[in-house]
Amino acid sequence: MTATSAIILAAGRGSRLGEITRDKPKCLTPLAGRPLLEWQLEALRAAGIQRIAIVTGYRADLLQSFAATCFHNPRWADTNMVASLACAAEWMEAGTTIVSYSDIVYGPDIVQRLLTAQDDVTITYDRCWLPLWQLRFGDPLRDAETFLEEQGRLLAIGERPQSLDQVQGQYMGLIRFTPVGWRRAVTAWQEQPPELRDRLDMTSLLRLMLDRDERVGALAIEGGWCEVDSVEDLARYEQALAAARPWTHDWRQVGGPHGG
């Protein structure tokens, strides 16, 4: 099998974390004793990926030592994820690439399953999302997004759901692109007006691809990851990890029940 690369999108500051990210990018936020970025690098390397790059932006100087290759987004404050990923087009065009958000943590088993995907674009989603969203928000529909799939093909994503029936899972921020899949994504992105291109997030890009009837694979996992978006997230995760009973979203449990 051709070696797969990984790109971590770490350009953002994460202003909702307040003082925690005043002097450092969001990916250096500590969780369970280590920065988020260290957990990601460990999981990717344990899954067999050794060629890893970081897309930097805010306080790029603090990230230079974490990867041999860094792609910088000089317009990080004015652009969103897709524009950041386009800064790493050299790698995206060269071979299959795992793209990871920088504010999530996950185990290597999830990455290993994603490496076996057959579609040119494949995302991972959590079928066990409800307990995590209830922990984070109380009302799970407060921040959830629509997610519908059929036989491993994504059908809908990213709208505001009216009921839990519209949410079969939650996209977790890990995507596998082949060069063909990346070219299709770029085509959908470049069709948008410049001001929209700058603002486009990854979920919106996936919606654009669905509008073009592009196939996007959907790989189910069950727990074993979490997303850090607020100080409250950090506190609740630390509490869940410290509890006596096992936590379904403990990413450190290698080989746990994270398969679909």
| 173-197 confidence digits (pLDDT tens) | 999 999 999 999 999 999 999 889 9
Task: Using DSSP bridges, classify how beta strands 225-227 and 104-106 pair: parallel, antiparallel or unpaired.
Answer: antiparallel
What pLDDT does residue 122 have? 98
Q: pTM for this structure?
A: 0.95
138 pLDDT more than 90: no
Q: How confident is the model at residue 1 (pLDDT cuts 50, 70, 90)?
A: very low
Burial of 90 (0-12, 13-18, 19+ CB in 10 A): exposed
Q: Determine the 3-state secondary structure of 227 from DSSP.
A: strand
Q: Which domains can be identified in the chain, with CATH numbers?
A: 5-242 (3.90.550.10)
Cα gap 218→208, rounded to integer Å: 16
pLDDT (0 to 100) of residue 237: 97
Q: What is the pLDDT of residues 114-132, one digit of tens each?
A: 999 999 999 999 999 999 9
Q: Specify the higher pLDDT residue, 253 or 13.
A: 13
Q: What is the token pair recorded at 39?
A: 């957990």
| Contact of 140 with 150, CB cutoff 8 Å | no
Q: What is the pLDDT of residues 76-109, one digit of tens each?
A: 999 999 999 999 999 999 999 999 999 999 999 9
pLDDT, position 244 = 83
Banded model confidence at residue 49, pLDDT cuts 50, 70, 90: very high
Nearest to 7 by CA among 82, 65, 92: 92
Helix (H) or strand (E) run with residue 236 in it:
helix 231-242
Q: What is the mean pLDDT of the chain?
A: 94
pLDDT bucket at 3, cuts 50 / 70 / 90: confident
Flag whether pLDDT at 256 surpasses 70: no
